[in-house]
Amino acid sequence: MTGGLARGEPAVDAVVVGAGLAGLTAARELEAAGASVLVIEANDRVGGRMMTQYVGGVPVEMGGQWVGPGQKRINALARELGVEIFPTEVPGRTVFHEDGRRSEYEEDGEVPFRDPGASAEVGEAFHALSELARGVSAGTPWASERALEWDGQTLETWKLGHTQSKGARFYFDLAVESLYACEPRDVSLLGVLSDVAASGGFGGLFEIEASAEEHRLVGGAQELAVRMARGLRGRVVLSTPVRRISHDGDGALVESDAGSVRAGAVVVAVPATLRGRIEYVPALPPVHDGLSQRMPMGAVIKCHAVYDAPFWRDMGLNGRAESDTGPCKVTCDNSFPGEDAGVLTGFILGSDARRWGQSPAGERKRAVLECFARFFGREALHPRGYAECDWGKEPYARGGYAGVPVPGFLLDHGPALREPVGRVHWAGTETAARWNGYMDGAVESGHRAAREVLPAGGAGYHPRTTPDDRDLSRGRPRAGATGTGG
């Protein structure tokens, strides 16, 4: 297991495991305070669950991409790095598809359910969730007075008690799938209430305007990670899975396929479910190990078709579709400004993702494009480029968008999410008190982890020799991206 580097050197103040938004944020803050850092990333790229790729000649967002106005940390980071934001909103009508019937509705209009009462039902259910969430304190949901009651049930159970019509239930499911990439049965009611409290209202999560999806990032979200990594040049090692972290009162030893590094502290910035795939010496305490057994990733295949132009706009459509028939039950116009090309993005979510992920790629592509054609017309059948990312197949994400709290998880394991174990600290959007599951939460978690590691006062490290990334460059090549051109 120990590789080419001699024991005892190189040594840094802190090793950060994972070059996603959380890890890079932590590394940057640690370095700014004078600490020597080394970031070790398993993938052959930085960005974690943010990944921007070129398809049909234009950038497309394979992973996290949206930014909301209430998300102060990600907005501040983008400004600092000189990455501009632009509004997501595309004017036009949304396509609605229910029971094989296609309709359209205006931005401010009512969803045209077959059952005329469904719309009010949905509104009431979302409102009721927001009201309940007032009883939950963001960041410490396990301390809520009714935590036991709320963490004892699935969101599905709550839904069945608070909606009646088929239409309302389909739309509720669609909202949950869109937000969590899982079914309402997979997530704890307390988990959802906690997220509402951490973000400001369930409806707000699902709408575009004044929501978590109001803005996007020029050049793509991964640009944030690329720019941070550039500032850390020489201290970010790629293609190097960390295998073991040993630690005691004197410090830590981080072992990877490419060698070992000593460190004063380690920040593990990976999804909670993947923490357990690193070996710890001594072994993690049962609650810390148990939490990595209980926060499974959602399931999502994000599918993109690139066209010569956003033809749906000429039809007065905004590229958004909501449907009870998949594979893509939700779509959006994901074009970048300044490009002629139009990009339609469809989400295959939860159980659908598991099923469709097992189909041959060609069959899945055909079904996705037929879906787009049902929503936006036959022109959708002939994109100039097509690509998709099944996040369950990404070896160092193993699902997306984020970890999902199952019933009972937060009560018994929530407090351990952020709790350090000796020299090991934890980051990642799942550990955030605000906007967990979003890019903003990842940034929060990186700041918090860095502050834990820093001596009281936030600075005081005397920089010492940092190992060069060439010291740890013998990582294995990783399998190619899942996107396919054409």
Q: Which residues bind its own copies (CB under 8 A)?
A: 1, 151-154, 156-157, 160, 182-186, 241, 243, 257, 273, 276-277, 279, 282-283, 285-287, 289-290, 293-297, 299, 351, 353-354, 357-358, 390, 392-393, 395, 398-399, 406-408, 411-413, 479
Q: Which of 277, 313, 280 is nearest to 292 (CA)?
A: 277
Q: Which is nearer to its own copies, 293 or 484 (CB)?
A: 293
Q: Quote the least distance from Cβ 480 to its own copies, whole Å.
A: 12
Q: Which of 128, 129, 273, 271 is nearest to 192 (CA)?
A: 129
Minimum distance from residue 143 beta carbon to its own copies (Å): 15
H or E segment to which residue 482 belongs: none
Tell me the C-alpha distance between 344 and 364, whole Å: 16
Residue closer to its own copies (CB basis): 342 or 483: 483
Cβ 237 to its own copies shortest distance, Å: 17
Q: Considering the complex, what minimum distance in angstroms separates the CB of residue 356 from its own copies?
A: 11
Q: Are the CB atoms for 30 and 177 separated by under 8 Å?
A: no
Helices (H), 82-133: 118-133
Distance CA 430, CA 459 (A): 26
Q: How far is the CB of 206 from its own copies (least distance, A)?
A: 21
Cα 241–chain centre separation: 20
CB of 262 to its own copies, least distance (A): 19
* Closer of 116 and 286 to its own copies (Cβ): 286
Cα distance from N-terminal residue to C-terminal residue, the chain: 41
| Cα–Cα dist 428/410, whole Å | 16
Alpha carbons 241 and 208: distance in angstroms, whole number: 37
Cα distances from 372 to residues 128, 139, 307, 343, in angstroms, run 33, 39, 12, 11
Q: How are beta strands 52-55 and 300-307 bridged, if at all?
A: unpaired
Q: By C-beta, is 133 or 348 nearer to its own copies?
A: 348
- For residues 419 and 442, the answer to whether their CB atoms sit within 8 Å is no
Return the number of the residue (251 or 276) whose C-beta is nearest its own copies. Answer: 276
Smallest gap from residue 43 Cβ to its own copies (A) = 12
Q: Quick one: 327 or 385, whose CB is closer to its own copies?
A: 327
Residue closer to its own copies by CB (options 56, 296) is: 296
Min dist CB 430 to its own copies, Å, is 13
CB-nearer residue toward its own copies: 59 or 298: 298
Nearer to its own copies, 93 or 474 (CB): 474
Pairing of strands 215-217, 93-98: unpaired
> Least Å distance between CB 376 and its own copies?
28
In the complex, minimum distance from the CB of residue 175 to its own copies, in angstroms, rounded to a whole number: 16
Q: Are 20 and 442 in contact (CB under 8 A)?
A: yes
What is the greatest pairwise CA distance in the chain? 71
Our CB check for its own copies shows the closer of 21 and 187 to be 187
192 or 344: CB nearest its own copies: 192
How many whole angstroms separate alpha carbon 90 and alpha carbon 52?
A: 21
* Number of alpha carbons in the 13 Å side-chain half-sphere of residue 28: 23
Question: And the tokens for 92?
Answer: 């036009």
What does the DSSP assignment read for 393-421? GSTTT-SSS-B---TTHHHHHGGGSS--B
Q: Which is nearer to its own copies, 276 or 420 (CB)?
A: 276
Q: Which is nearer to its own copies, 21 or 176 (CB)?
A: 176
Residue 386: HSE in the Cβ half-sphere, 13 Å Cα cutoff: 18
For residue 73, is it left (φ>0), alpha (ψ between -120 and 50) or beta? alpha
**What one-letter code names the amino acid at 226?**
V
- Minimum gap (Å) between residue 395 Cβ and its own copies: 5
Rounded Cα–Cα distance for residues 239 and 258 (Å): 9
Contact 63, 482 (CB under 8 A): no
Backbone φ and ψ for 62, nearest 5 degrees, come out as -80, -20
In the complex, the smallest distance separating the C-beta of residue 408 from its own copies, rounded to whole angstroms, is 4
Query: In the bound complex, what is the minimum distance in angstroms from residue 471's beta carbon to its own copies?
Result: 18
| Residues 299/350, Cβ–Cβ less than 8 Å | yes
